[in-house]
Amino acid sequence: MKMVSLYREKLRQAAELISLSGADLWITYVRETSAGSDPVLPLLMDGGLTWQSALLISPAGQSIAIVGNYDADPLLHSGDWDEVIPYIQDIEPILLETLERLLPNGGRIAVNYSEDDVMADGLTHGMYLNLQRMIGDRYELFSAAPTVMALRGVKSPKKLNGFAVH
């Protein structure tokens, strides 16, 4: 029997929380994470990302990582993500194609910004503007802060077992 990783458990928890949030999708959108990472990233994956990357989680539990070609292998080998889509030059066409596939009628997308909680405020203003320019008015962006805060507060069974006294 294959062991479920801590990251896979967190992705499942995230999907459950997203389904309660009213979001049609949650996107963690980052770049050059070694220079300043989104605080939610360590909950979703191990390591960092170099190129613009979009980590998508649907309320139905589908997890998709759109990452630069050189960032794809660790995610592919982890087995945590349902789909890993590498790109070579520009994330925009692949991200838009994926959004069209997941949300053909538009929808509400939660992204990581918050006026009150630094741990839910990982999307830089420049990246927010970049994402907004790409998607236009077809999708509504709103704060994923309640989802992020809840995800940080929910401990996975794997993590709890690690703290168990034997």
Percent of the chain with pLDDT over 90: 83
List, for residues 124-164, the tens digit of each pLDDT value.
999 999 999 999 999 999 999 999 999 999 876 655 555 44
Question: Residue 98 pLDDT > 50, yes or no?
Answer: yes
In terms of phi and psi (left: phi > 0; alpha: psi -120 to 50; beta: otherwise), the region of 133 is: alpha
Task: Quote the CA–CA distance of 129 and 154 in Å, as a whole number.
Answer: 30
Residue with token string 């770049």: 31
Q: Which helix (H) or strand (E) holds 64?
A: strand 63-68
Query: 43: which 2 tokens?
Result: 């909950």
pLDDT in tens, 18-47: 999 999 999 999 998 777 789 999 999 998
Q: Report the pLDDT value the prediction gives residue 155, as an integer from 0 to 100.
A: 73
Q: What is the model's pLDDT at position 7?
A: 94
Domains of the chain plus CATH, in order, are 6-159 (3.40.350.10)
User: pTM of the predicted model, to two decimals?
Assistant: 0.91
Confidence of residue 72 (pLDDT cuts 50, 70, 90): very high
Mean residue pLDDT across the chain = 91
List phi, psi (to 5°) of 9. -60, -45
